[in-house]
Amino acid sequence: MENPVDKRDILGDEVFSHRITKDRKVFIFWHGKHITSLCGSKAEEFISSIDNADGKGAQLIMAKATGHFKHGNERLGKQSKRNS
Put simply, whether the predicted model's pTM sits higher than 0.85 gets the answer no
**pLDDT higher than threshold 80 for residue 49:** yes
Q: Under a CB-based contact definition with an 8 Å cutoff, are residues 16 and 32 in contact?
A: no
Nearest to 66 by CA among 41, 36, 43: 36
pLDDT digits (tens, 9 = 90+) for 6-28: 555 566 677 889 999 999 999 99
**Residues making up the chain, counted from first to last:** 84
Distance CA 73, CA 18 (A): 25
**Residue 44: its pLDDT value, please?**
96
Name the β-bridge partners of 36. 28
The answer to which of 17-26, 48-57, 71-80 has the lowest mean pLDDT is 71-80
Q: How confident is the model at residue 63 (pLDDT cuts 50, 70, 90)?
A: confident
The residue with greater pLDDT, 19 or 77, is 19
**Residue 80: its pLDDT value, please?**
52
Name the β-bridge partners of 17. 29
